[in-house]
A and B are shown apart, each in its own frame.
Chain A
Amino acid sequence: MAYKPSLRQKSQPLDMELDIRPVMNLMVVLIPLLIASAEWVKIGSIEINVPPSKDVGASGPNENQNQIIENELKLGLKIAITSDGFTIGNSQTLLSNEEGAGPTVPLKTDASYDYDVLKQKLIEIKKAITGKGFKDSDRAVLTASPGIEYQVIISVMDNLQTYTDDAGEQQLLFPQVNFGSIIQ
């Protein structure tokens, strides 16, 4: 049997405002602190692996090694950046453009680099070599004329390492990027 609620204890509802000043004080202190330590620019880092050998940067001895081990399938993909555009090739051949001469991916009409076409070509190459047993199917050597700007090189590396396939997934293209000697 439930008790009947007491009629005597009808106290007035307590009318009191919450004192939010301490919270405000806290906010006023916290906000400048967080502004000071906020990360306004996101910094990224791209890793480059250089073998810790004595022959770093010298392409001569490496090419000799390639000739010694001939039964290994090596692609040796090279991308050269010049002031005319990008040239894709390896030690045997250079890819030509539609006109049959000049860089593989020439500059766009407004004299800027054509990263989209470069990416298309690289995806074609990647698809063509996948499963053929190339030992260095993840590797590409990047080289450029002396005066090429750093931003261009980074943008090429952006387009070189990954791509988004038709299903919208991120796929690896040539994640291992090495730098080759300068074209003189």
Chain B
Amino acid sequence: MAFQPSKSKRHLEPEQGSLNMNSMMDMMTIILLFLLKSFSTEGALVTPSETLRLPESMQGEKPKKELSVSIAKQVILVNDVPVIDVATIDKNQMLIMPLADRLAEYARQEKQLEIDVGKEFTHQVNIQGDDKTAFEVLFKVMFTCSKSDFYKMRLLTIKKG
């Protein structure tokens, strides 16, 4: 059985009240400041993924956007284009041929740009390696890079602390 509606409450004036926005504004201001602090104009240089987890390091400068060679768990990529599977790298050869070819192509393009429009060829390359990458593979990639005119190498890491 439903209750009978209260007669005295029927003639009550709707309450006049305004929302107090002050605390919300405070919160917004704090969030805004925090986000401004972590603002970066560079954009995302690296997208961490399951197959490419960068090692942690205490030091390191701010990286610049350069040609990137990524050593993921299964595959090696140059500027996000897969080049060779890690498993198919020749054990007895220091130079990784498909990678060397691809890098040589990039080097040729860069040199052509230097001639055409005067954009300096920096010889720089960012190496992003998965933290479980074997030293053998890393060393071969670095060797291939240095052979292919990209001898200023930077290892990208995640800064902790």
Contact = CB atoms under 8 A, between A and B. Distances in A.
B134 A147 contact: yes
Interface residues of A, number: 46
Contact of A49 (B39, B134, B135, B152): B152
A39 interface: yes
B45 interface: yes
Interface in B125-161: 126, 129-136, 138-139, 142-143, 146-147, 151-159
Contacts of A47: 61, 152-154
B57 A37 contact: no
Interface string A27-65: 100110011011111111111111110001100000000
A154 B57 contact: yes
Contacts, number: 156
B57 A157 contact: yes
Contact of A44 (B60, B147, B153): B60
Interface in B82-139: 94, 123, 126, 129-136, 138-139
Given A51-B151, A149-B134, A150-B130, A46 B39 contact: no
Nearest to A54: B147
A91 interface: no
Binding site secondary structure of chain B? mixed
B157 A44 contact: yes
A30 B32 contact: yes
Interface in A44-94: 44-52, 56-57, 81
A136 interface: no
A56 B147 contact: yes
A146 interface: yes
A167 interface: no
Contacts of B143: 56-57
Given A45-B61, A81-B135, A148-B135, A34 B35 contact: yes
B2 interface: no
A151 interface: yes
Shortest Cβ-Cβ A-B pairs, 7 listed? A44-B60, A146-B136, A34-B35, A45-B63, A39-B40, A151-B131, A45-B154
Interface of B: 18, 21, 24-25, 28-29, 31-32, 35-36, 38-43, 45-46, 48, 54-64, 71, 94, 123, 126, 129-136, 138-139, 142-143, 146-147, 151-159
